[in-house]
Structure 1
Amino acid sequence: MMETHVMWNFWTRTIAGGALAAMLVLGAAYAPSIVKAQAQTVVLHRGNGAEPDSLDPHKSSGTWENHIIGDMLIGIFTEDIDGKPIHGAAESHSVSEDGLTWTFKIRPHNWSDGVPVTADDFVFSWRRILDPATASQYATLLYPFKNAQAVNEGKLPPDHLGVRAIDASTLELQLENPAPYLPQLLAHQTAFPVPKHLVEHYGADWFKPGIYVSNGPYVLAAWEPNNFIKLIKNPGFWDAANVQIDEVIFYPTDNTSAALKRLRAGELDMQNGVSSQDIDWLKANMPEALKLQPYLAVSYIAINSTRAPLNDKRVREALSLAFDRDTVADKVLKFNEAAAYTFVPPGTAGIAPGAALSFASMPYAERLAKAQALMQEAGFGPGKPLKIALEIGPAPDNKRVGAVVQQQWAAIYVDLELRASESKVLYALLKENNFDVSQAAWVADYNDAKNFLYLFRTESKDMNYGRWSNAEFDRLMAEADKARDEAARGALLRQAEQVLLDDYAVITNRYLNTRHIVQPYVKGFHPNLRDVNRTRWLSIERAS
């Protein structure tokens, strides 16, 4: 999940209708510093990692953006307290016998400005994200929709997308192939509705404070770039009576050690992201607050296979062989994470077991010798090093891991430059295919192996950072989409992953654990495989 680039000055315009009334009732303020809330107002302060580029669900792709957007907008499905899909904007649904037609009944509810949410909002939204003019990086996630790929590639107009409003409260969606994961997909930000009436009126400005309206539990009150984003409770939300937090303020906290200090000082109630240099202290002093749990995520090093000599399989294999993932996981970082020798994390649904890197059981000394031989075959050696750059993010742990990679690859004649950038800059480089090798990570949008492997389909465009392309991989993925038998589909996905691994398209690193610090007085936070914890399910219960 990544992003686009939109910045603006701090807005102080009021929000229309019911949201303005809520602000007056709650005494909402736009102060840039943290002000202790009055007794009647429950405020949650969330450290959220990176600064968002956009709060438009069709222009965002980062988990840090999803945390905020998902508190304001709700799709056909949404997540329960455990991150599992439940009905959201739809109150019920039915599925045809062949699994290709899904019909949804939209629950009676309004946008926060009082305008009813209708089936046509979803038709408009899904056509918009797939319209090539929108240039949504994440549009490929919706390719299971009928004609979605053809629309996104400009081969068909948006009105040929397989979705229609039967009436104001009935939405019909047609699929290319059966998709057992569809409820999870329709809870994802790419499938969120946007308010047609505002997007058509304001265009690209629709998601700024003072204009933005939502159909979920919170509305946007303020955004001061690189400082905070403030949401306030939406009194018109259909389940508002059960929402316990009145205001939630999200802070960009790339510097996780500084965020921990803010949390200990009482400025934050929870923080997404922990540094390895703080982990021992947290385990000893705040064990109840530290949440290290496996989830559906993998860390890896992306390889730009369009650049020579990284388009040489021998070079890619050598880099992967020489990268000692076990040392990184066990000695450099201390998050209880396992070294990754597959791209799809263990336990992910929809795939047969068995895929693995060919050298998974090879001793590291033998791997290193083989890597040196491969590099020499490719024309490199002690007097002729390969000079490439590794792009890394701003966190201290990224620099630690980068230094280790630099040392390990020096043994196979690689002169590695480390280039650190802010998160938004790093992911812009990845999206634009403007790198040699780069740190990267993928957090599943839904629990199915396809969501990991689809990244490497040729058609996945800038989600496929390295632009790796393999006809056999694409064929196996297409066959898996068509398979009606669960076991046959799982076997095809396993074969596809093995093709990916055998061609060394990426360098797998670690299967990730969640890294949250949540104060014990914050209740309702449930670690889960999706690592989704919406504010609507949280509450604050301080000891009296």
Structure 2
Amino acid sequence: MVLHRGNGSEPETLDPHKSTGEGESWIEMDLFEGLVTADAQGRIIPGAALSWTISDDRLTYTFKLRPDGKWSDGTKVTASDFVFSWRRLVSPATRSRYAFFLWPVKNAEAVSKGDMPASAMGVEAVDDLTLRVTLEAPTSYFISSLQHHSTYAVSQANVKRFGDDFIKPGNLVSNGAFMLEEAVPQGHVKLVRNPHFHAASTVTLDAVYFYPTENRESELKRFRAGELDVTYDLPDGQIAWVRQNMPADLRLAPFFSTYWFCFNLRNEPWKSNPDLRAALSLAIDRQLIVDKITQAGEIPAYTITPPGTENYVAPLPEWARWTQAQRDAKAKELLAKAGYGPGGKPLEVEILFNTSENHRKIAIALDSMWRQKLGIRVKMTNQEWKVVLQSRAEGKFQDLVRAGWIGDYNDAYSFLSLFLSDVKGQNHSGYANPDYDRLVRAASSEVDPAARRQLLQRAEALMLADHPVIPIYTYVTTHMVSARVSGWQDNIRNLHLSRYLSVVR
């Protein structure tokens, strides 16, 4: 029984401590299992940890690992593997863009900044099957965050044996439902069932193929030809046709994710000109974009955190309630105030995006809106996914870069922590506001839900008023799923582990 899955762009890496993209995470969720994992509906359930306890002061977590937890070479998964892996994640030498994920752990932030040795991190192997974690402060979302791929363990013995080559086929051992057999660049990644997985008897698939396909039109053609059982996405321009002609295979669902563009606040004129940033944002007709371009039921976004965030309602800016005509008028006023537009300085804006017809169409829409309303021209630059990831992380783009975020756990902090001034590699705009930092950090340790919510709302309102990014819309997931596939359940996290799927030819 073999499943063929479309998977977006070519994987950046399958090292769970170094990867950043969604496509990579789908493969890694099949290869590895964290302390917690997700069920078929995207809900958090025990993973490599069979159970855990939390101390009364909410600072100490004690995880009991599964006695039957094994790596794919048959060796035991131990607490020491998690200690090694978490230290590796936060080590400055790893240069992980997700090191901040473990900053709630005692001294982890200081370790990641090179101020303390890895041994100072609050993670300890009490014995082979007991992992003790000490936090800096109570952290309500901590367990949920451990489903994320960056917190997965890798085999300490495996990494020490092969070094950076541990991730290659034939070298890699993993503790998930599948293990790596092939990785052909621009071809496919093939996984096969892991006989040592603790729930191997419930896994029906013998193999899973993941195919990188940046061109969504080509991916849809492969699905229609029967070469794919599941697509990663759909081309915006084909959604109406699919709705009419292939409705049984179309899966649309709300998604805990927001699409936006980042200004580069390291460069002028953006660095010192919030009015100019606001003008570009207000002039975008988001409703037109979701109605005429994306067409899958996306919701116009005026905030960073999406609908469906638990215990949270995003602070909507006043201008979000205006008509588009009112926003356009204000945009022209702000543009003139900033010294640009008719009678002022000319402006050309470069938009960097990863190669995709969907992203290109949105860039074209922004070009049209800004040119007609503000006299601004757009230079569109598309690059492959790996290049955009690196340019974005290092702040090496001129004006705007296509970005967005998929909530790694259902909490506003998953989105708002990205804009902390010292979160390197994910704060793509280079946004730095001490008041914002203070509010978000206070919220991270606040135990009262109402007080925490208010801190996060104040922080988001402050950041939105600074306009470091331009929110465009809240995503929906768009997949084609063949009638041959069983076990697929739509969920807001868009988590679909292959261990829950089966296929009949």
Residue of 304, 307, 313 corresponding to 1:343: 304
User: Can you give the 5+ residue segments of structure 1 that lack an aligned partner in the other structure?
Assistant: 1-41
Aligned to 1:83: 42
**Is 1:195 matched up with 2:155?**
yes
Aligned to 2:56: 97
Aligned to 2:368: 407
Residue of 427, 430, 438 corresponding to 2:401: 438
Distance 1:182 1:234 in 2: 29
Aligned to 2:140: 180
Aligned to 1:421: 383
Distance 1:450 1:540 in 2: 37
Asked if structure 2 preserves the Cα contact closer than 8 Å seen for 1:375 and 1:413, the reply is no
Shift of 1:482: 2.2
Aligned to 1:221: 181
**Is 1:328 matched up with 2:273?**
no
Deviation per residue, 1:159-208 (Å, 9 max, x gap): 11100000111000111222222222111101100110011121111100
What secondary structure, in the 3-state scheme, does the structure 2 residue paired with 1:292 have?
strand
Deviation per residue, 1:330-351 (Å, 9 max, x gap): 1222011110011100120142
Residue of 80, 91, 95 corresponding to 1:135: 95
Asked if structure 2 preserves the Cα contact closer than 8 Å seen for 1:350 and 1:489, the reply is no
Identity %: 41
What is the aligned-residue RMSD (CA, Å)?
1.1
Residue of 420, 423, 429 corresponding to 1:460: 423
Asked if structure 2 preserves the Cα contact closer than 8 Å seen for 1:119 and 1:165, the reply is yes
Distance 1:261 1:354, change over 3 A: closer
Distance 1:88 1:354 in 2: 32
Asked if structure 1 preserves the Cα contact closer than 8 Å seen for 2:71 and 2:77, the reply is yes
Distance 1:121 1:503 in 2: 43
Code of the aligned partner of 1:443: I
Distance 1:414 1:512 in 2: 27
Asked if structure 2 preserves the Cα contact closer than 8 Å seen for 1:150 and 1:156, the reply is yes
Distance 1:404 1:122 in 2: 47
Shift of 1:398: 1.3
Aligned to 1:396: 357
Aligned to 2:463: 500
Asked if structure 2 preserves the Cα contact closer than 8 Å seen for 1:260 and 1:271, the reply is yes
Shift of 1:366: 2.3
Distance 1:333 1:70 in 2: 28
Give the alignment of 1:223-238 within 5 angstroms: 223-238=183-198
**Is 1:477 matched up with 2:451?**
no
Asked if structure 2 preserves the Cα contact closer than 8 Å seen for 1:50 and 1:64, the reply is yes
Asked if structure 2 preserves the Cα contact closer than 8 Å seen for 1:358 and 1:502, the reply is no
Distance 2:460 2:349 in 1: 27
May I ask how many residue pairs the two structures share in their alignment? 500
What secondary structure, in the 3-state scheme, does the structure 2 residue paired with 1:359 have?
helix
TM-score (norm 2): 0.97
Shift of 1:517: 0.8
Residue of 163, 171, 176 corresponding to 2:131: 171
User: Can you give the 5+ residue segments of structure 2 that lack an aligned partner in the other structure?
Assistant: none
Aligned to 1:161: 121
TM-score (norm 1): 0.90
Distance 1:482 1:220 in 2: 39
Shift of 1:395: 1.5
Distance 1:288 1:252 in 2: 24
Code of the aligned partner of 1:455: L
Asked if structure 2 preserves the Cα contact closer than 8 Å seen for 1:295 and 1:514, the reply is yes
Code of the aligned partner of 1:505: P
Asked if structure 1 preserves the Cα contact closer than 8 Å seen for 2:139 and 2:447, the reply is no
Distance 1:128 1:444 in 2: 23
Code of the aligned partner of 2:467: Y
Distance 2:59 2:488 in 1: 35
Asked if structure 2 preserves the Cα contact closer than 8 Å seen for 1:83 and 1:532, the reply is yes
Aligned to 1:537: 500
Asked if structure 2 preserves the Cα contact closer than 8 Å seen for 1:129 and 1:190, the reply is yes
Distance 1:230 1:354, change over 3 A: closer
Deviation per residue, 1:471-500 (Å, 9 max, x gap): 111010111112110110011111111001
Asked if structure 2 preserves the Cα contact closer than 8 Å seen for 1:340 and 1:511, the reply is yes
